[in-house]
Amino acid sequence: MRKLLAPLAVVAAVLGFGAAPASAATKPVLFTYVYVDSPGTDNRTNASLNQEYFRLTNQLAKPVGLRNWSVKDAAGKVITFGNITLPAKGSFVVHTGKGTQGSPTGHFYWNSGNYIWNNTGDTATLRSPSGATMDTCVWKKVSTTKC
């Protein structure tokens, strides 16, 4: 059992979880904004799809690697991140449509040809590689959602 606890302690330290209880721990990365309804008619053009997006923010004073972290909607659509490092206190945006990853700086793309977020309400869930829920953002109607 000692061998298992050591790696968990290292992970906890890297993600900013100290000896404080889980309820008191700062979430290392969280949703800070979700734009669920692109302006105008929902015509599924790439320009329209890319106006639907979410922003993730690193709450820590050190970078956080997001390799194999994922975001999932209530219907089970999932995006899994590759080799992305979120800078200390930094943010990045993930657009629904297609584009060049990292261009402009801090912008990434789901590469979907369909809208992801339901205008009538949805849930965005951020998970670590182990499957632990790191943050959740819920909305019930068309909105620009600050989570």
Q: pLDDT, tens digit, for every residue of 120-131?
A: 899 999 999 999
* Cβ count near 5 (within 10 Å): 9
Model confidence band, residue 9 (pLDDT cutoffs 50, 70, 90): very low
- Quick one: pLDDT band at residue 43, thresholds 50, 70, 90? very high
pLDDT above 90 as % of the chain: 67
Percent of the chain at pLDDT exceeding 70: 80
121, exposed or middle or buried, with CB in 10 Å at 0-12, 13-18, 19+? Answer: middle
How far lies 61's CA from each of 64, 93, 100, in Å? 9, 19, 28
In this prediction, residue 142 has a pLDDT band, given cuts at 50, 70 and 90, of low
Question: Exposure string (b/e) for 13-38, b if CB count within 10 Å is 16 or more?
Answer: eebbbeeeeeeeeebbbbbbbbbbbb
pLDDT for 65? 96
